[in-house]
Amino acid sequence: MYALASIALSGINAAQLRLGASAHNIANAQTPGFRRQLVTQQAVPEGGVSASLVRAPVEGEALAEDLVAQMSAGYQFVANLRVLQTQHKLLGTLLDERA
């Protein structure tokens, strides 16, 4: 069951990185020569994801894309939180049954 928590936490970390990058992009959209931060995610063989930041290859903003990324990150937070809450609930039920 600890693997489940690790997978959910990696998702939460990826969502946090995506939210931070999109906020950074929105805040700096009018900066001359600004290149956006992009988040790349890759599945980890043990489960979960690995996320990292890269710079966009060209200058410019993409406000609509960044707003969608913020909303998507919010949904990712909620989904992974639900996984952790369900694991906690199941673990508590398991302990009640064994006690």
Write out the H or E segment, with its range, that includes residue 57: none
Query: Could you read off the pLDDT of 13-67 as tens digits, one per residue?
Result: 999 999 999 999 999 999 999 999 999 999 999 889 999 999 999 999 999 999 9
* Residue keyed to tokens 């990292």: 52
Residue ranges per structural domain of the chain: 2-92
Nearest to 14 by CA among 88, 86, 79: 79
Query: Could you read off the pLDDT of 56-97 as tens digits, one per residue?
Result: 999 999 999 999 999 999 999 999 999 999 988 888 776 666
- pLDDT the model gives residue 96: 63
CA 95 to chain centre: 31
- pLDDT the model gives residue 90: 84
Write out the H or E segment, with its range, that includes residue 1: none
- Report which DSSP code applies to 31: S
Q: pTM for the complete prediction? A: 0.84
